[in-house]
Chains A and B, each alone.
Chain A
């Protein structure tokens, strides 16, 4: 389910990206936060993120983290999470390629990139995790 609750709640400006416990966050989480931060600073990315809610679990070559789309912020939290709306699992190389906009389809076909859960959320999330999104 995607909702417009953030807009309804009267927030203005792009949602901020927070890294929960920065010093403990691994490379994959830090990189995702950096990409999200840049994309959310753009109107299109902010609008896209503003409509997302819920938790996405990411496993990047074994480095696990959650992206929590909340009312006030997007949070990156290292570790696994229960009942995410979407699970993304990929090799580190495949995720880096995806972030660079390369070979996403091939990675899917070869099983280097897998997603489970809400496909609509996946479609909206992918541009936010693109380095030039």
Chain B
């Protein structure tokens, strides 16, 4: 039976595509991963249609790959060859914003840009943390993949921001988790057993989330972002760790020198001047009043003075408004959601990274290991880091822009990514949004009991193995 016939009746024919140009569009992403063309692309608009798709896929043994914006840089949106892509971008309703309990129930197609518009209209204002990914990408997908955002220093990774989900299981069961499992309110993830976690970090292998409740937080009226130029990465990491342990900042992060140069149009920055700042540390302060903001500024300056006195190479904080005056391209860092389009809009068009969560105390060690590997592969050491959850752990990302049209370069990037991950895994840096290529490396580090439980859970929920077959398969 053809895939079109298998999915006939699951959703209207005008939202089913199996023509060559459409299939080609869904075969690839920004990364170095090899393209893989699906056999059909489906655009459901309701949970009932998602259910019908899942049941039809089960009958036809057709593998399903779910996507929202398709911009994931771990290759997770690349489908199984000949399988079905379930594109959730048309499920884009903000179902509810409960300002009293501070959460929003959203469908998977809701973007960061749409959330920003919706939240800006609320009084008193509420906010959501925004990632570095483009404004047109999906909120729920990022939460389910346990990404991170500008409130991750305060509130941890985005998987923790979910108070519950509605999901369609591979057998067609529709399930609600969190407090919504037993009430009309999506306000809390507990106290029932945490089945929301069954969908966080699983990359769609346990079901298709059709709704999610995302936590919101009060938005202080005053916000100030500053950049601190750090002479070396050790100074930057030390500052980030110190500031993370205070309650001073909403966000702290760092970008290494190649990222800064890329902003100015350098295609492949090379040859860092020994006097050039190695890291840009950014710090967000928020406050209810000018006086509070001023006190926070003074405290920040005091902490930085202390670090300088201890020999750390840190310039004084430069408000982002000043940086924008110096270089208008810095406006990309001024507001949320940020549009860091210079990372993927370049000749060659490729963007990849090894993204890891790990111990902040080992940032230096990890950076010392990966920088020479990237350099040897012909890529500048573009590092992005941020302490999270009050400094309990942090993210360290190793970015590379590359020429997707050059097979040799794609191969080189692939090899570099593997060597970079192999170098930081023993330090406790684990891949988030774990790409399929990383699984063999991760498997070696995994507790055998964990790996077995993962496979047992998956097999119990999806015995036919139709959900996200490229993900979490050891």
Do residues B269 and A23 form an inter-chain contact, with CB atoms below 8 A?
yes
**Is A105's CB within 8 Å of the partner chain B?**
no
A41: B residues at CB distance < 8 A: none
A23 close to B325 (CB less than 8 A): no
A92-B229, A92-B315, A96-B326 given as contacts; is B266 within 8 A of A30 (CB)?
yes
Interface residues of A in 1-49 (CB under 8 A from B): 22-28, 30-31, 33-35, 38
How many chain A residues touch B (CB < 8 A): the figure is 25
Considering the chains assembled together, what is the distance between the CA atoms of A78 and B267 in angstroms?
17
Quick one: given A92-B229, A92-B315, A96-B318, are A132 and B325 in contact (CB under 8 Å)? yes
For B328, the chain A residues whose CB sits under 8 A away are: 38
Chain A proximity of B314: nearest CB distance (Å): 11
Binding site for A on B (CB under 8 A): 229, 257, 260-261, 264-277, 315-316, 318, 322, 325-329
22 contacts between A and B (CB under 8 A): A22-B266, A23-B261, A23-B268, A24-B270, A25-B266, A26-B272, A26-B275, A27-B260, A33-B264, A34-B264, A34-B326, A34-B327, A35-B327, A61-B275, A63-B275, A78-B273, A92-B277, A93-B315, A93-B316, A96-B322, A100-B322, A132-B325
Minimum Cβ distance to chain A for residue B279 (Å): 11
- How many Å from the CB of A90 to the closest CB on chain B? 12
New A-B pairs, 17, CB < 8 Å, besides A26-B261, A26-B276: A23-B271, A24-B271, A25-B261, A25-B266, A26-B272, A26-B273, A27-B257, A27-B277, A30-B265, A34-B327, A78-B273, A92-B315, A93-B315, A96-B322, A99-B326, A100-B326, A131-B325
A103 at the interface (CB under 8 A from B): no
Q: Determine the residue in chain B with the shortest Cβ distance to A102.
A: B322
What chain A residues lie within 8 Å of B257 (beta carbons)? 27
Q: Nearest chain B CB to A97's CB is how many angstroms away?
A: 9
Which residue of A has the minimal Cβ distance to B229? A92
Is A62 in contact with chain B by the CB < 8 A criterion?
yes
Q: How many A-B residue pairs have CB under 8 A?
A: 66
Q: Are B326 and A31 in contact (CB under 8 A)?
A: yes
The interface residues of chain A lying within 8 Å CB-to-CB of B268 are 23
Report the separation of the CA atoms of residues A66 and B432 in the bound assembly, to the nearest whole angstrom.
Answer: 44
Q: How far is the CB of A36 from chain B (nearest CB, A)?
A: 12
Whether the Cβ atoms of B270 and A23 lie closer than 8 Å is yes
**Could you mark each residue 121-133 of chain A with 1 if its beta carbon is under 8 Å from any beta carbon of chain B, else 0?**
0000000000110
Chain B residues whose C-beta falls within 8 Å of the C-beta of A38 in the assembled complex: 328
Give Cα distance in the complex from A95 to B329, angstroms: 19
Interface core residue of A30, A31, A33, A64 (most chain B CB under 10 Å): A30
| A14 CB to nearest B CB, Å | 18
Please give, as numbers and ranges, the residues of chain A lying within 8 Å of B272 by CB-CB distance: 26
Query: Within the complex, which residue of B271, B273, B316 is in contact with A62, where a contact is CB–CB below 8 Å?
Result: B273
Chain B residues with CB below 8 A from A35, complex form: 326-327
Collect the chain A residues with CB atoms within 8 Å of residue B265's CB. 22, 30
Distance (whole angstroms) from the CB of B403 to the closest CB of chain A: 14
User: Chain A nearest CB: distance from B164 CB in Å?
Assistant: 46
Instruction: Tell whether, in the assembled complex, residue A62 and residue B274 are in contact, meaning their CB atoms are under 8 Å apart.
Output: yes
